[in-house]
Amino acid sequence: MPGSSSAFPLLPPEIITNILRFLSPHSLAKLACTCRLLRSHCDNDLLWAELVQENVPAKLESPYPATTWRDLYLAHYPYWFLTRHKIWFADRAVGGHAMSGSIVIALYDPRRGCIEGYRLVAEHGNHTFESWSWNSEVIIHTFNPRVKLWLDDPVVKLDLGRPKMNDFRKERMMQTGPSGLGSAVSLCQAIPEALQHRSMALWPPLILPARHRVRSESSSMFRDIGHKPRKFEEASDQTFRLRRWADFGRAGTHFGGAFGENVMTFSTLPEESYESTKDKPWQGIWVGDYSGHGCEFLVVLQKDVDPSVRPISPTTWTMGSPGVSDASSDDDDDDDDNDDDDDDDNEDDEFDTDFAQSQGIGEGSSSPAQANDHRFSSVPSADRADSTDDPSCKGRLEAIKLTGDPNVPRGEYTWIAEDIGPEGLVRVADEKMFEGSRVVRSVGHCAAHGFRNSMAANLRLWELFADALIDRYVASQLIMVSHDTLAQYWQDLGHISYYKRVNLDDYLHV
């Protein structure tokens, strides 16, 4: 109504300040445009100090080297989400290899007022070979990984005093690496969940938990306007892209231009998916020993058992992810195809039965050779309750690679334990090396060099070239040594690989 005015500006200043604390930075900026009085309240540096602190794990004493907290916040806007979410994993390595991937830890350096991202790397460390009394044919080598940040080469570096971000579609140039190497960071526009499909090249892949997903392939190297947010509401705070190229114009040569360009797409994980809790102590970020491939990082997810999901067996060939619902499979009206499928199912059933018997599950007894072998024994059902007093030993464990290798790349399952509760229990170890540890059934993901997803199984190529063309899952057992140590016994390979928990808080300070 004409002549009416809001009573909000008439409130005591301390009440106005407390109300403004609930506003986002974007809302504060809009409110500051209404009048001078509210602008003075919105410029209160205590408000901006809290906004900065929300995005930085360590306690900050001052906005140095910026003059005010507001100046510091605006200097890195809208990229404060990098330090807020801490861990970022990419669809390719920093060098450009698409199968390896990278993990980056984002930090804020209060000495220089900059946001930096460093690769998290690991090396085997000293190890010795040990024999396993439970199976003398298996040789185990210990795993003592050394995990650290690669501080010599920052992947992300946002300096204080860089131009303020007014256009969300623009890339922000960075000075990283040696002279002649250009890099820039940019925001992403998330794909609505309703438009996401298994056939799309998405990052992160659908098997990983994520609040936002974006495209991971583009013929235009993500220069099209459709890949970039046009306004604040469209900008994803869960993903970003990093463009790197060789800039000969900056290297002091007689010719200029950008060559060898590659784009990395980064995503983060919801904290609730990898932070261990009382009910889900096994989930977290882990580093595993992959022998000749070196150390690789993975996330272990602890999920509730879903009865509608078909358990995966060593003979299950998948269309993107194992353990899919039976209801999701397509029906085939062709009688001949159905007959072929029945034959294949019968063969798979026979294969699964053999596997089940070797694991001590299913109907009937195991083979005569296995019946007298303690290595194939299983906990009797009557004794299972006594061996599962720990309420945290329930659900399904999925280990998904965050960094990978040419055999099984990043973003793929490395092993799955369908049920770590009573139904999946094989035995409780009594040998000295793993004494008292639960041993549960699992399957391990294997593939030949040059990974190809098992979609090729539709062409029946696996019947002729299974080991060379596509991936498969092999019989394994997961040895749950402690909440910080796991061991995977790859039965077909006669090998045990260790996994150690990574505490991210140890790497949030340079």
Contacts of 194 (CB under 8 A, 6+ apart): none
Q: Are 281 and 483 in contact (CB under 8 A)?
A: yes
Predicted local distance difference test score (pLDDT) of residue 276: 93
Amino acid making up residue 476: S
Predicted local distance difference test score (pLDDT) of residue 311: 62
What's the rounded Cα separation, in Å, for the pair 498 and 308? 31
- The whole-angstrom distance between residue 152's C-alpha and the CA centroid of its chain comes to 24
Contacts of 355 (CB under 8 A, 6+ apart): 313, 314, 315, 475
What's the rounded Cα separation, in Å, for the pair 245 and 234? 27
Q: Are 268 and 238 in contact (CB under 8 A)?
A: yes
Torsions phi, psi of 20, nearest 5?
Answer: -65, -20
Predicted local distance difference test score (pLDDT) of residue 463: 46
| Residue whose entry in the numeric block shows the structure tokens 């980064």 | 266
3-class secondary-structure state, position 447: coil
Predicted local distance difference test score (pLDDT) of residue 179: 67
Predicted local distance difference test score (pLDDT) of residue 10: 85
Give burial (CB, 10 Å; 0-12/13-18/19+) of 241: buried
Tally: H helices and E strands in the chain: 11, 22
- DSSP assignment of 248-300 equals GGGTT-S---EEEEEEEEEE---HHHHS--SS-TT-EEEEEE-GGG-EEEEEE
Q: Are 151 and 118 in contact (CB under 8 A)?
A: yes
First to last CA, the chain: 57
Torsions phi, psi of 467, nearest 5?
Answer: -70, -25
Read off the pTM: 0.81
Q: What is the dihedral of CA 126, 128, 132, 136, to 10 degrees?
A: 140
Q: Among residues 34, 21, 77, 84, which one has the least CA distance to residue 57? A: 84
Pairing of strands 146-150, 284-289: unpaired
Find the DSSP H helices in 232-316: 271-274
Token pair in block for residue 503: 């505490």
Q: Among residues 293, 284, 299, which one has the least CA distance to residue 413? A: 299
Pairing of strands 438-446, 425-428: antiparallel
Predicted local distance difference test score (pLDDT) of residue 447: 72
Token pair in block for residue 509: 């300070």
Predicted local distance difference test score (pLDDT) of residue 209: 96
Token pair in block for residue 142: 């210990």
If the chain, 510 residues long, is cut into consecutive pieces of 10 residues, what is the mean pLDDT of each piece? Answer: 69 92 92 91 95 94 95 94 97 79 96 96 87 89 93 92 70 80 91 92 95 90 84 92 79 53 94 94 95 90 78 49 41 46 49 42 35 44 50 89 90 95 94 95 80 46 46 91 96 91 91
Predicted local distance difference test score (pLDDT) of residue 483: 96
Contacts of 381 (CB under 8 A, 6+ apart): 422
CB count within 10 Å of CB 275 equals 13
What's the rounded Cα separation, in Å, for the pair 379 and 439? 10
CB count within 10 Å of CB 212 equals 18
Amino acid making up residue 200: M
CB count within 10 Å of CB 353 equals 14
Q: Are 437 and 420 in contact (CB under 8 A)?
A: no
CB count within 10 Å of CB 499 equals 24
DSSP 98: T
Domain boundaries, the chain: 8-63, 83-267, 271-507
Predicted local distance difference test score (pLDDT) of residue 351: 42
Rg (the chain; Cα; Å): 27
Alpha-carbon torsion 316, 322, 324, 328, what sign? negative
How long a stretch of residues is the chain?
510
Residue 399: beta bridge partners? Answer: 300, 415
CATH topology of domain 8-63: Monooxygenase (1.20.1280)
What's the rounded Cα separation, in Å, for the pair 88 and 210? 12
Q: Are 382 and 61 in contact (CB under 8 A)?
A: no
Token pair in block for residue 197: 């499909």
CB count within 10 Å of CB 306 equals 11
